[in-house]
Amino acid sequence: MKCIALGSKSTRYGYASSVGAALTGLLALAGANDARATVYTLPSPGATIVGDDQSVDTVYEDTLYDLARKFSLGSEELIRVNPGVDPWLPGAGKKLVVPGRHILPPGPHKGIVVNLPEHRLYYYPKPKRGGPVEVITYPVSIGKMDWRTPLGITHVIAKQKDPTWFPPESVRKEHAEAGDPIPARVPPGPDNPLGAYAMRLAAGNGTYLIHGTNNPIAVGLAVTHGCIRMYPDDVAALFPLIPVGTQVRLVNEPVKVAWVDGELLLEAHPPVDAQGQSFEPNIDQFADLLRIAVGDTTVAIHWDYAREVLQKADGVIATVGLEADDPNAPAPAEPAPGAPAVMPAPVATTVPAAATP
């Protein structure tokens, strides 16, 4: 298996030791006891947005890590939209933005979809006859280093509860060189970085997994050797829902758009490189992605504000334009509390599709 959290002399098999392990345990307890539901019923098969943004006032005991887990976010998702707040000691009385609204990735609403820049997994259960279409979404970690999580369509070929981890020789060599040797076989238990549940994918000749973790603080980061890692309580909930054979689609969509009531909504995340690492966006390339997503639709885009949203790439959805076919199109709605203000739209222009950067 190619899955492991990167370690150092202060970690072992991917989990934090001593004080870090105690903190991880406290966060695990907090998350397990107060995690928010992530199941959404789509009002129609073509619906494109789920969830709601909200705000929360911190109490003395809070950290951004336990709040991220509580609200089904990766740690970086919450930290990124609350700059200047100490993630370990935010203090009491801080009002935090909680970005819970998501534009669904483009493509069919089928099986599992993982959007790598977003560090998020979407699962579309097969609807029951006459029943509603649902989506379940969770934050995940993605691949790091030279073992890139592969893009494209694959499927689940096996499932295992309490998996044993057999680290490949290259991983053992890496840890040995760092002064943190690991054995050839790690049995189930607290030392196992695969956690309590694992689902094997066909990609990479079966070397890639969707699995749990013994280091939940790192969920939402690029800290695995190619595998997709979930919070322990999230993977425990997802595991029994996934039949062997379920399609898994791995996509790279840092810029997502949706049309809602004539408004163009934009959601941007930091792009990832060939090793799964996030980096600062190239705004010109991001703007081209926005043009491609809009296509030939006649739309009034406030480009200064759109570029600001693209530059921040914090995952918060913003209204950046209006459909211009209707001269009586309404003005953008007032933003929710804590959301950035929407700038007025300029005169309508037709935005042509651009070549891929």
Catalytic sites, residue numbers: 211, 227
For residue 133, give every residue at least 6 positions away whose Cβ sits within 8 Å of its Cβ, in sequence order, or none.
41, 42, 44, 45, 47, 109, 124, 127
Q: Which residues, at least 6 apart from 237, have a Cβ–Cβ distance to it below 8 Å?
A: none
Tell me the three state secondary structure of residue 16.
strand
Residues 6 or more apart in contact with residue 327 via CB below 8 angstroms: none
Main-chain phi, psi angles of 204, to 5 degrees: 65, 35
Side by side, the strands of the sheet bearing 255-260 are: 255-260, 263-268, 318-323, 298-301, 349-350
**CA distances, 80 to each of 59, 65, 196, 290 (Å):** 20, 12, 29, 21
Half-sphere exposure of 2 (CA within 13 A, CB side): 22
Task: Tell me the helices (H) and strands (E) count for the chain, helix number first.
Answer: 8, 22
As a whole number of Å, the end-to-end CA separation of the chain is 34
**For 126-132, which contacts have Cβ atoms below 8 Å and span 24 or more sequence positions?**
132/41, 132/42
Q: For residue 132, give both structure tokens.
A: 């509603």
**Distance separating alpha carbons of residues 194 and 192, to the nearest angstrom:** 5
d(CA 180, CA 55): 41
Residue that has been written with the tokens 């800290």 in this structure: 223
Cβ 147 vs Cβ 209: under 8 Å: no
Residue 259 burial by CB count (10 A; 0-12/13-18/19+): exposed, middle or buried? middle
